[in-house]
Amino acid sequence: MIIVTGGAGFIGSNLVAGLQSRGYTNIVVCDWLGNEDKWRNIAKREIRDIVKPQWLFDYLNSHAHEIKAIFHMGAISATTETDADLIAETNVAFPRRLWKWCAAHDVRFIYASSA
């Protein structure tokens, strides 16, 4: 299983498409779909599951033996965001926890940012 955080965003959904075009079929997207049209980015994709970020660590722990890699594409990149606590949690604390989880479970962690 491959997890793609931010997998419904523009870059993340293209990563999902690229992985699928290379034969990877067991892909989980972690993202908020919210009120935006992000769901359209993954509507035509065969995805195993969609997990909200606040539930990701429960999901990881219950599927740890299946996970081969996590591509971390999720972030707040909007320059208009003014909530510093939200930015710090999303862009610093969350990826740090993901990295620690991957290190503890011997799972590849591929970290990328378009910001």
Is pTM beyond 0.95? Reply is: no
For the chain, domains (ranges, CATH) are 2-83 (3.40.50.720)
Tens-digit pLDDT profile for residues 33-57: 887 788 888 888 999 999 999 999 9
5-97-80 Cα angle (round to 5): 60
Tens-digit pLDDT profile for residues 81-95: 888 888 888 888 999
Please say whether the beta carbons of 72 and 51 come within 8 A.
no
The SS3 assignment for 107 reads coil
Burial class of residue 79 (count of CB atoms within 10 Å of its CB; 0-12, 13-18, 19+):
exposed
